[in-house]
Amino acid sequence: MAVGQNNPRVFVCDDQLEVREALRLLLKSNGYTVETFDGPAALTAAATQHPAGVILLDMNYTRDTTSGAEGLDLIAALRSLNVPAALIAMTAWGDVSLAVEAMQRGASDFVEKPWSNERLLQIVAKWAATRPAAARDLDSARRVQQSLLPRSATGGRLLDCACRFLPARQVSGDYYDFFEKRPGHFGFVVADVSGKGVPAAMLMANLQGLFRSHAYLDDAGPEPMLRAVNGQFHESTAPESFATAFYADLDEQSRQLHFINCGHPPAWLRRANGKIQTLDPGAMVLGAFADWRAEAGQVQLDSGDRLLVYSDGAVEAQNASGDEFGEEKLLQLFEETSHLPPAEALPEIEAAIQTHSGVSLFDDCTLFMARLR
């Protein structure tokens, strides 16, 4: 039986094409699923978005060819991002001091170059078979979280909706949901829980349960419903935990959108004539205070009007120089894609954010767009 059969996939990162190809063929022929990357940026982006069991990484890239500093920085970065894979450093033959430093930074093991195929396969098999429990747990948590989010945005009869969900790590504190409520009413929420990673994901699941418990009972309007959500969220979370949220309900008969913005970034409403209107915060964040106050907003929608709701991870996405994507660029893309259905416009906006951030997102990012038919 192949050594790697039924084992998690392996990432290979090396700036030399021939090295990547040789490792890919060796590992693939032994039953592993292999993905290759030519540098730290591409590897980090993939490792933070998709799970890998083992990562083989070179210690020298284009900026530096002898010291191994780039590889050490890459190992430290992957560990700071809580990437759970086993990291195997590939070092030059006899470079013991670099291997030791790599282990101190967070590497699981090392392989000398030029490598022995038999030795390399033994090391990969060992770490694939002893994959950390935390990695398996994160995989399970990611699958559970994905199953909690709605698979499609029907939008009732009048709204054409789409949503993009981009976690900065394997699990996210961002949240969105849709509510096919009493006849003639369609509700939706986009929320952002404080923190990142597993703690934020647990809070997100709690918040989702509260919204689903109360959203179908808001005959009196969104303010009483959100007051109930806030009360239970405040009681069940730590004092420092909170969530921003944008919640709205569309009355399909009158075409009136009732909304409350709980400390969330302002939503943008683009009228069919091109005029932009912001739906600003009118309430306190959820969960931070027992005495919660809100001011509901109301806006009349017409055919062709478009709404964009986003979490702050969209505008705070940074490039390698630390420059943020920014509201101006997001608004520009909202304008430039106004001729497209939401399901086609959002992938273009997502691609621009990903291109800007390059390596990985610093914070979770959720984008919701709706167009009134």
pLDDT in tens, 169-194: 666 778 899 887 777 888 899 999 98
pLDDT in tens, 150-173: 766 665 678 899 998 877 666 677
Beta pairing partners, 27: none
CATH superfamily ID and name for 147-372: PPM-type phosphatase domain (3.60.40.10)
Question: What band does 338 get if pLDDT is binned at 50, 70 and 90?
Answer: very high
Residues in CB range of 302: below 8 A, 6 or more apart: 255, 271, 272, 372
Query: Using CA atoms, how far apart are residues 75 and 93, in angstroms rounded to an integer?
Result: 19
Query: Using CA atoms, how far apart are residues 80 and 83, in angstroms rounded to an integer?
Result: 8
Domain residue spans of the chain: 10-131, 147-372
- Higher-scoring residue by pLDDT: 97, 40: 40
Residue 341 has pLDDT above 60, yes or no: yes
Give the model's pLDDT for residue 135.
60
Q: For all residues of the chain together, what is the average pLDDT?
A: 85
- Higher-scoring residue by pLDDT: 276, 168: 276
The answer to whether the 10-131 and 147-372 domains have the same CATH topology is no
Residue 80 has pLDDT above 70, yes or no: yes
Domain 10-131 falls in which CATH fold? Answer: Rossmann fold (3.40.50)
* 3-class state of residue 200 by DSSP: helix
Nearest to residue 161, comparing CAs of 192, 183, 201, 189?
189
Nearest to residue 163, comparing CAs of 140, 332, 174, 171?
174
Cis check: omega of the bond before 347, within 30 degrees of 0:
no
Give the model's pLDDT for residue 168.
65
Scanning the chain, the segments in alpha helix (DSSP H) are 17-29, 40-49, 69-80, 96-105, 117-129, 133-148, 197-214, 222-236, 312-315, 326-336, 342-357
Q: Contact at 8 Å (CB) between 43 and 358?
A: no
